[in-house]
Structure 1
Amino acid sequence: MAAKLTWNKLCISRSEVELSKVLRCGQTFRWKNIDDVWTFTIKDRIVLLRQNDDAVEYSHVPHHKKSDDGDIRSQGETKSFLQDYFNLDITLGDLYDHWSKKDGNFKRVLKSSPFQEFKGIRILRQDPWETLVSFICSSNNNVKRISKMCEALCVEFGDYVNEYAGVKHYSFPSPEQLLSSPSLESRLRELGFGYRAKYIYATASRMTGDEYPDITVEKLNSMREEDYETAHNFLLQLMGVGPKVADCICLMALDKHDVVPVDTHVYQIALRDYKFKGKRDLKTLNPKVYNDIRLHFKNIFGDFAGWAQSVLFTSDLSDLNNGINKIEQASSSVKRLKTESENIDHNEAEILTKSTVSKRIKVEV
């Protein structure tokens, strides 16, 4: 019989963090919503969150091999994880006030009725290795399918942690765990990862092999202490990582709060709302245009430009109903990913073949 959960409070309002928005806006891909409880697996526990207007309540389910003592130390570890993960030392309200004073468009967006649905958007501070692999999976992809890929990695290669509400939870696999498969790339293709399988295999191999002694998980983690250019260039050494993916990792895992990852949507916002001088029918964001847009937003919003851009980006979306909170048992989710890939990979190949004549803007990687 499962032990009774002990719930504690983080006294933080929805204006500072809105779980239903932050956990579904394309930053993170492994949170599940089970009967209004958000769940996430770290190495030795399942973290549980639920929210009301005045607080975020948290609890955890320990690893199935550990006793559920519910002691103060375990509760404190969960609290520390959450404070770090959600960057709670940064006050979102102060940033909103600062941006509103500096930028008339942000002030207008802040007062608009659609924005009221998108308060509490903040940048997360995620595990660098998981963020790296997740955004390698993001190439030509959507949030729902990226989430299924991350779940497939956990089920296939991670450790079983425990169950919550009848749903099995697994940890995110290390490079060593991925490479424990005798034929990782082939297995990933079987699971529906398509061409991304090669990128994940190559990246895991570089992180663990003797051929690249300066490319390790420890070195990746140390990029939090380095400047943006050093971190960005380190990431570009890895297969499947182009400028945008590198910038997503810098912003969402490596403490580079001023970095603005640029894609089609951000380019259109820059043209429409921020007087960026560019061609509306531009087919390719070449490195110069990409960097010019990034610096354009940094000059407006300063040290937290990446945070400001995330608010503008999310508030500009028409819908966050991306399926990330749809719960399926892990095995059925993996099977569906594989089935979908049989159709989607063919379409992706078509997209890549036709990309030179496409009228949609792409980012060169």
Structure 2
Amino acid sequence: MNMYKVRIDNFDLEQVAKSGQCFRWLKNGENTYNIAAFGREVDITQNGNEFTLSCDEDEWNNIWKDYLDIDTDYGKIAKLIEEGDDEHLKEAYRLGFGVRILKQDLWEIIVTFMISQNNNIKRITNSVELLCSRCGRTLQGSMARYDFPKPDEAGDEIFEDRSMGFGYRAAYLRELFEFARMTPDWLDNLKKMSYDEAMAELLKRKGIGKKVADCICLFGLHHVDAFPIDTHVKQLLNEYYKDGFDFERYKGVAGIIQQYLFYYELIKEKK
């Protein structure tokens, strides 16, 4: 098996896995996660800021380097936070310094965040894995994991199957898959749009509200100024930012800042 080692600062596997942005990371050992993405799977093991991946250098450069957002300077963002006077953000960053915005597959993000509405992580993950195992192709070189199904790989019957756990979202998902099949250039066109244009386009689809559209823009289109506001974020804004959040200071990285704040709320809630 090929192995590739790389140093990555400002990155923590467990923090990313628990940050609510990805639903296909499986923990399969101490400090090790199995990740399925872009028709491949990889095991990543962390030892401090040293990471070992079950791939060769070409695969790292062609897939995983971009997926892990290596070219974004997270150290610069850390400096921006530490030089500011937002003490709550500083505390949140110290707890979740290793969170990054992954560059995930757009179609997968649209579907999984539609599933995520009014749902919990365990149920979301279960529904997503069922969808992949029943409709997706076996990943290259894998005996147990499946690719995320393309729009034309999921038959209508899957959305009528209550064991999938889609609930009321099933009708929206069925319509979404049908629309994507009938409009094959839709995803590529979304990638060419500005944040505002993409938001407007996504909101045309049934079952996608502002919060989900913002999540799609942030996690699927890498518009890192998108600032999704769910119940957790609304509560923290009311509690810590009664006079308003300083969006101007964090212009261009607001979505990354949101993830630090969001992760802090998730972890605090579990304590």
TM exceeding 0.5:
yes
- Does residue 1:11 correspond to 2:7, yes or no? yes
Residues 38 and 105, structure 2, Cα contact 8 Å, conserved in 1: no
Q: Which segment drifts farther, 150-159 or 225-234?
A: 225-234
Aligned-residue offset at 1:44: 4.2
| 1:52-97, Cα deviation, whole Å (9 max, x unpaired) | 113111114xxxxxxxxxxxxx641244311111111012111011
The structure having more radius of gyration, on CA atoms, is 1
* SS of residue matched to 1:265: helix
Aligned-residue offset at 1:102: 3.5
Matched pairs, number: 269
Residues 107 and 187, structure 2, Cα contact 8 Å, conserved in 1: yes
* SS of residue matched to 1:40: strand
Q: TM-score, normalised by structure 2?
A: 0.90
- Does residue 1:119 correspond to 2:86, yes or no? no
**Partner of 1:171 in structure 2?**
147
* SS of residue matched to 2:250: helix
Q: TM-score, normalised by structure 1?
A: 0.68
- Does residue 1:24 correspond to 2:15, yes or no? no
Which residue of 105, 110, 113 corresponds with 1:135?
Answer: 113
**Partner of 1:303 in structure 2?**
252
Structure 2 unaligned regions, length at least 5: none
**Partner of 1:207 in structure 2?**
180
Residues 92 and 120, structure 1, Cα contact 8 Å, conserved in 2: no
Aligned-residue offset at 1:43: 4.8
| 1:24-74, Cα deviation, whole Å (9 max, x unpaired) | 2110001111123311223543211111113111114xxxxxxxxxxxxx6
Measured in 2, the distance between the counterparts of 1:40 and 1:232 equals 28
- Does residue 1:50 correspond to 2:45, yes or no? yes
* SS of residue matched to 1:316: helix
Aligned-residue offset at 1:263: 1.3
- Does residue 1:191 correspond to 2:187, yes or no? no
Q: How do 1:30-109 residues align onto structure 2 when only pairs under 5 Å count? A: 30-36=24-30, 37-60=32-55, 75-106=57-88, 108-109=90-91
Residues 153 and 173, structure 1, Cα contact 8 Å, conserved in 2: yes
Aligned-residue offset at 1:320: 8.6
Identity %: 31
**Partner of 1:270 in structure 2?**
237
Aligned-residue offset at 1:116: 4.2
Which residue of 229, 247, 250 corresponds with 2:217?
Answer: 250
Residues 248 and 261, structure 1, Cα contact 8 Å, conserved in 2: yes
Alignment root-mean-square deviation, CA: 2.2
Q: How do 1:283-302 residues align onto structure 2 when only pairs under 5 Å count? A: 296-302=245-251
Which runs of 4 or more aligned residues in structure 1 lie more than 6 Å from their structure 2 counterparts after TM superposition? Answer: none
Structure 1 unaligned regions, length at least 5: 61-73, 278-295, 322-365
| 1:174-209, Cα deviation, whole Å (9 max, x unpaired) | 01001xx2524213x342211111111000001112
Counterpart residue type for residue 208 of structure 2: V
Aligned-residue offset at 1:297: 5.0
**Partner of 1:330 in structure 2?**
none
Residues 199 and 214, structure 2, Cα contact 8 Å, conserved in 1: yes
